[in-house]
Amino acid sequence: MSRNQQNEGGSWKPKHPAIEKQIKDIAVNDVSFIKVLGVVLEKRQNVALIDDGTGKAKIVAFDDAILSKVKVGDKVRIFGTVLPAEEEGEIQINASIIQNMNKLNMELRSEVERLKKSVEKMF
């Protein structure tokens, strides 16, 4: 952890707020701290595959505890950085934080996003 990623209490924090992305919009050379919402399709020890409806991404957690409570079928929000792809066209995300989003109403969230976009078009 670099000094510019520590707050006064010594805990980790990102340099910048996470940018919400859909998997289809993630570039393999993206250097942003991102967040992605998706459903877990597969899971092995420290690797998971998620799908957000626009594409699939491989989630890698170098700390086993990050993925320890995640199960196939869970809705999750991943905060992390893009890793170089092992295979052409593959998106890999180094997960720093994983939030369980199973209680999230996806239909309601989609409606909110649709309304938000329509309001943004007005201005």
**What CATH number should be reported for the domain holding residue 97?**
2.40.50.200
pLDDT confidence of residue 52: 93
Q: Would residue 2 count as lying in a domain? A: no
* Mean pLDDT, rounded, for 96-100: 94
pTM over 0.85: no
**What proportion of the chain, given as a percentage, has pLDDT over 70?**
88
Instruction: Domain count for the chain, please give it.
Output: 1
Length of the chain: 123
Give residue 72's domain range.
Answer: 14-122
Which of 102, 93, 92 is CA-nearest to residue 71?
A: 102
